[in-house]
Structure 1
Amino acid sequence: MTLDETPRAVPFQVAAVQTVTGTSVDANLARADALIAEAARGGAELVLLPEYFCIMGRTETDKVAIREADGDGPIQRFLADAARRHRVWLVGGTLPLQCGDDGRVYNTSLTFDPRGQRVARYDKIHLFGFTRGTESYDESRTILAGTAPVSFDAPCGRVAMSVCYDLRFPELYRGLAAGGGTSLILMPAAFTYTTGQAHWEILLRARAIENQCYVLAAAQGGKHENGRRTWGHSMLVDPWGEVLAVLPEGEGVVSGTIDPARLAEVRQNLPALRHRVL
């Protein structure tokens, strides 16, 4: 496949789920299932959940306590079952997987096809750190960074996986696009209110413009039980950088279409991907 080609001649429907995740895993999974069902009823063929859709704990170590072994556990079974029941490609935001370090976990995004078969695993590579006044975050205390970029093939073409803080590192997406281009970038996130207000939309639009692809972002969006406030603004951005749909705050679903004709038009009119030198 060349940079100007697309693997499917008809549009592909996608949806991003936005949540305000709490401290109860069971309640969070039930709410996620209801929103996946809503997206599927609306015609979505691929559904993206946000980062930490399964838990936003009262402490950073709460996610370590619910970690699962790779390939088995209630959260992974939920994702496989939901994909199969709703007949969608389901990308499970992130969940904590064991990493051989009792004090830390991988922050992992898993993709399941409509049969409920797992087709991709991505461990978040870039770990968030931020300090301003009384606001402070250091993911490296409880998360072990992944090492490998991941993409997978879906009916809409090549899909690049990423998580939250990865959005600030354009070289990740350039590497994933090498060879055949990317049709869709996935961005499950839990951006803070502070950083989201300043940078979220502009970064999403930049990644879409420079890679001439769609970007689907599923965010946490509101005031959580643990006192944290997340920015929300889940959205779908097209290859020209246009925001096609957005949900500012609160739970809900953002949906839209991956249009192969639009991908081809943008890449033909402005063949920047083929003009790359470095």
Structure 2
Amino acid sequence: MKIAAIQMRSGLDPEANLAALEPMLAEAAAAGASYALTPEVTMIFPENRDQLRSTAAPFEGHPQLARVGELARQHGMHIHIGSLAVPLPDGRFANRSVLFGPDGRQVATYDKIHLFDADIAGLNAYRESATYAGGDVAVTADLGPFTLGMSICYDMRFPRLYNALANAGANLIAVPAAFTVPTGQAHWHILLRARAIETGSWVIAAAQGGQHPNGRATYGHSLIIDPWGRIVAELDHDRPGVLVAEIAPEQVADARQRIPALANARNFALPGALQP
């Protein structure tokens, strides 16, 4: 099975972002990919919360998603929109992944679980939870020879989610992202390879890359990693592009037989500590 990671440089106009995505999906399909993943915040990478509120469309009847469904049917492939902002009744948004099947229908959605709330020395506090509501359900989806586990960006720092996805049958894990340059240089490759190694799964990470109209810079370097933790394909830059690689489920079985970490895991107690 061939899979594709689409690297983008999303801006402030959803229609312009969709127009940039369409030829890259066509390129992935022409290369034989039957599954393509786009980055986090594919449809709009906003400058601020007010701009997001003025441009984010309701999920039902979403115009850009309707077009993506048409493209999935046209190319006969699974298209996985890494994420887009979906308005919620409380005034916040869900950071939602949407998977389309080759028939153009939505087959799965996932709302990003882990939100980045931090007090950083010398900077103002960052509260992703002020804009987004975290999801509370892990999601897998059938891709034929593979079972897809869905995650988004900051999720990758929480191994328990990936362990749960693998134990639920996932052997290909999607990580759409919009990593900053400093954290990307320090952690991107290491974290993604670790998630592949500890679960014995294929990992595909589609990234935002470059200088965006909102003033932010993202790291790029979309990756496809095998179950042994080897990087089998990489866009070694921050420019838009298409990354395609062939993957095989047999390598999952081999990695998990050689290092049966999922099977060997045990529950344990830590006296005096709060239980997860």
Q: Does TM-score exceed 0.5, indicating one fold?
A: yes
* Deviation (angstroms), 1:275: 1.6
Contact 2:163 2:262 in 1 (8 A): no
* Deviation (angstroms), 1:98: 2.3
d(CA) in 2 for partners of 1:133 and 1:194?
16
1:170 and 2:122 aligned: no
* 1:171-227 superposed Cα distances (whole Å, 9 cap, x missing partner): 111112225x32100000101112111111100000000000000000001111111
Percent of pairs identical after alignment? 43
* Deviation (angstroms), 1:13: 0.7
Partner of 1:249: 238
SS in 2 for 1:61: helix
Partner of 2:274: none
* 1:159-182 superposed Cα distances (whole Å, 9 cap, x missing partner): 100000000011111112225x32
SS in 2 for 1:91: strand
1:46 and 2:35 aligned: yes
For the aligned residues, what is the CA RMSD? Answer: 1.5
Q: Please, which of 166, 182, 185 is the counterpart of residue 170 of structure 2? A: 182
d(CA) in 1 for partners of 2:33 and 2:239?
20
Which one-letter code corresponds to 1:51 in the other structure? E
1:25 and 2:14 aligned: yes
Compared with structure 1, are the counterparts of its residues 86 and 121 closer, same or farther at alpha carbon in structure 2 (3 Å cutoff)? same
Compared with structure 1, are the counterparts of its residues 95 and 272 closer, same or farther at alpha carbon in structure 2 (3 Å cutoff)? same
- In structure 1, the gaps of 5 or more residues are 1-11
Q: Please, which of 41, 53, 65 is the counterpart of residue 76 of structure 1? A: 65
d(CA) in 1 for partners of 2:197 and 2:50?
37
Which one-letter code corresponds to 2:111 in the other structure? D
1:205 and 2:193 aligned: yes
SS in 2 for 1:189: coil
SS in 2 for 1:244: strand
d(CA) in 1 for partners of 2:127 and 2:117?
4
Partner of 2:182: 194
Compared with structure 1, are the counterparts of its residues 115 and 132 closer, same or farther at alpha carbon in structure 2 (3 Å cutoff)? farther
| Equivalenced residues, count | 265
Partner of 1:158: 147
Which one-letter code corresponds to 2:52 in the other structure? K
Report the TM-score, using the length of structure 2 for normalisation: 0.91
* Deviation (angstroms), 1:252: 0.1
Q: Which has the higher contact order (CA 8 A, sep 6+)?
A: 1
Partner of 1:98: 87
* Deviation (angstroms), 1:28: 0.5
Partner of 1:237: 225
Which one-letter code corresponds to 1:274 in the other structure? A
d(CA) in 1 for partners of 2:44 and 2:15?
9
Report the TM-score, using the length of structure 1 for normalisation: 0.91
SS in 2 for 1:93: strand
d(CA) in 2 for partners of 1:161 and 1:48?
11
d(CA) in 2 for partners of 1:168 and 1:52?
18
d(CA) in 1 for partners of 2:56 and 2:90?
11
